[in-house]
Structures are given as structure tokens and as C-alpha cells.
Structure 1
Amino acid sequence: MTPVRYSPLPIESYSFSAKSQILTEDPDAWNLAYLSWDFETCQRWPDPNFSTHVRRTLQFVPTTGKLDLAGSEHIRDTVRWMVRNPAPRVVKLLLAMPRFKELPLYQAYGDTWAETILARSFLYREPDDQIFDVEINDVSLAMTAIRLLRSKQ
């Protein structure tokens, strides 16, 4: 499964984020980082360990609460697998986890992180959403938009 990109622009477009090797080389890490930090308005790095917290959260095994540092667990058993879904679904899955407060990002940033990922998940748009960004001036255009929307479901 190819992960979608949560950010509207590639990582290179966000000045200081491109300095992290973890984020630039791992699309899942970038997605989780983008959900976790407001890269558009904050011009400073969250803290020196931010990328490490992101990577460790991806390695988290929800059923055991352990980190899969060796990569021996099946990917579907880790948070990494969750992050390959659209952002709103990821946040819903994370918040519903019984071990949510054991996640490394939660351990580092607490409820502020939970509030941030929830708010930022609503910024996510499916790649095809731009086709609906047209002003509809008459009913025939509205009917075309409805047909397109129904064909996507």
C-alpha cells in the first residue's frame, strides 16, 4: 500500500523540516510529523527529539505497548500501518487505542499533541478533492458535480 501524503506540498517546501533525515526519507514519518506539528505557521522546530518521537511512535505495537526497534513485528501490528490511511481515520484509530497515552509522541507532548493531531487531521484532503473546487453557477454544473461525487463512492 502506497501511503498518501497529508501535506499539500512536499517536505522540501517546509523550510526546517527538510533538515531531518528521518522525515525526508520516510513518507510515513513525514505524514505523522505533519499531523503532529503546524509546519505552516511555526518557524521553529518543536524540540531536538521530535523526529525521534515520530519514528518511535511508528514503531509502537498497540497490542503490547512495546517498540519494534528491530523491525521484527509485522508492519500491520504497528502504528506505521495505521498512518497509511487518510489522516482523519488515522487520528480516529490512534485516539481509540487503549494504549494511546503510551505512544512516544503522547509521552513527549501530552494532551497538546492529541489536540493538535485531531485539529490537523481535518486539514487533510483527498488528492482528487481539487476537482470539486469550482463555483457552481447553475444547476447543470451542480448535477455534474453530484455525478462525479457519486462515482467516487
Structure 2
Amino acid sequence: MGQERNYSGFANINHILEKLLIYFEKYKGIKDNISLAAWPGAKYIQYVVDNKKPYIPIFSHCDSNFHTYVLDLCGDIYACPDIIGRKEYSVGTFLPELSLESEKLRKWRNRTIFNLKSCLECNYAAICGGGCTLEAINKFNNPLHNFCIKSELKKILELLFDYYYDELFQ
């Protein structure tokens, strides 16, 4: 709970994706049973392949930026399930009575690509949604800082685009 992720291994993750796509080619049909959703941008490509229409852009990274409330056993409320236990990031309490800290909650709810300066001119912003709020907290101690993985996302999209090229243009 509340564990910090390390994205310095993205090159390794991209290598794993390359190997997985080779595996998919070798063993046709296996891709129906393995989700690529863990790779940023994969849902975008998969949606286009499956639906033959453009992906609906995202303006925030996940539901924690809209409407998620996570309750812990101590009576605290969090906006993200992965941050439970880090009391300094609690957005309120429900015991002994309900109380929300509007300023803390606002930092989660108002986090969109329109509020993150580096996202305003980024070609990938509508795919990544400004990156993970928790990762911004872990790396910059600021939920309103972007967590940019543009270079990694570009490589992932190139791999997936190459893999799905025939399905995209048939």
C-alpha cells in the first residue's frame, strides 16, 4: 500500500513489450487472453483496432482525478487506492463523522492536462492524461506536477502501431 513506483526501468518494460509482441506473432490467438493495458497508450491502440474509430481522448489520468473515494479501516478517506496509509495525503475522514478537506481534494480533482503546463503543448497528453497523480507525488511531492513519460510512451506507441498496422489499415 502506498508503495513508490520506479519508472527508471521503462527501457526494460519496453523490451518486455517487444518480446511479448513477438510471442503474440508466434502463437496466434494468445493475445486474446493477455491484456496489454499495463503499457501506457496500449488502450488507445487497442480501442482503435477493436472499434475501427478514433479513441476518445482523456483529460485526466485516472478516476482518482474525478470521483474515486477510498476508505481505510482507520476512518480516513483517500482519492487513490494506492496511497492508502500515507495519512498526509488523506483527503478527509468518515469517522467519527464525515469531513472532507476541500483544498487537498481539489488538488486531485482539478488535475487535468489543461492545468499541467508541460501537457498543454504535448502531442501525447490526450493519451496519458498528464500521468499518474501518485507518481507526481512520489517524485515531486506535488500532485499538481505532471508525471511525464512522453519518450517512453512514444516508444510504446511505435511498437504497438507496428504490431497492429495491418489490423488498423485493413
TM range (shorter): under 0.3
Q: TM-score, normalised by structure 1?
A: 0.25
Normalised by the length of structure 2, the TM-score is 0.23
Q: Which has the higher contact order (CA 8 A, sep 6+)?
A: 2
